[in-house]
């Protein structure tokens, strides 16, 4: 199984990431997917999302939302959380990730991406050379093309967990 599909971390939620720990380690830029990473697919920003981005700004992070969605969806959400954004990002291509780093004045060494899909979000972050965090999808209701990708994702996650377990046994 190709390691370029493996995230650097796999967490239950974008709201459970240790952002203070990332900041202490020198990370300054955060790139987020929106749908099923921060809110259910198509939902507006809720109180939790607004609070998260206010906290990240207060901590000193720069952040950009990138989405394969159309501009009206991405712009509306970004305005609610006061974030820069890129729409029709063509993930998993690395171009939008690199553009997001330019917008934040960060680089591969101090930027982290957070998203819920392996074959778009994580693959793109890995191709761009940045740290990637996979989170569990917020809601099971998704478009059919995403539902179909979830089956091969389960296979990737099986091998990812197996690899992580073997690494821990060696230590």
Say which residues have a Cβ less than 8 Å from residue 72's Cβ, sequence separation at least 6.
none
Check residue 136 and report its DSSP letter: -
Burial class of residue 73 in the structure, from the number of CB atoms within 10 Å of its CB (0-12 exposed, 13-18 middle, 19+ buried): middle
Residue with tokens 């091998």: 159
CB 58 within 8 A of CB 52: no
Q: How many helices (H) and strands (E) does the chain have?
A: 6, 6
- pTM attached to this predicted model: 0.86
Q: Residue 169 has what pLDDT?
A: 46
List of the chain residues with pLDDT < 70: 1-2, 139-151, 165-171
Give the CATH number of domain 3-170; options: 3.30.365.10, 3.40.50.1000, 3.30.70.270, 3.40.50.700.
3.40.50.1000
pLDDT of the residue at 161: 72
Instruction: Give the pLDDT confidence score for residue 46 in this predicted structure.
Output: 96
């Amino acid at each position: 199984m190709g390691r370029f599909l493996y995230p650097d971390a796999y967490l239950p939620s974008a709201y459970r990431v240790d952002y203070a720990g990332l900041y202490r380690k020198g990370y300054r830029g955060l790139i987020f997917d929106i749908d099923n990473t921060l809110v259910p697919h198509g939902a507006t920003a809720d109180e939790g999302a607004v609070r998260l981005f206010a906290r990240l700004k207060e901590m000193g992070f720069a952040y950009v939302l990138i989405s394969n969605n159309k501009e009206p969806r991405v712009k509306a959400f970004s305005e609610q959380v006061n974030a820069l954004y890129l729409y029709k990002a063509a993930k998993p291509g690395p171009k939008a990730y690199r553009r997001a780093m330019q917008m934040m004045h960060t680089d591969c060494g101090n930027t982290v991406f957070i998203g819920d899909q392996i074959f778009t979000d994580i693959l793109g972050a890995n191709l761009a050379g940045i740290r990637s965090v996979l989170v569990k999808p917020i809601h099971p209701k998704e478009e059919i093309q995403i539902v179909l990708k979830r089956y091969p994702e389960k296979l990737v996650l099986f091998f990812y967990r197996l690899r992580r377990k073997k690494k821990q046994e060696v230590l």
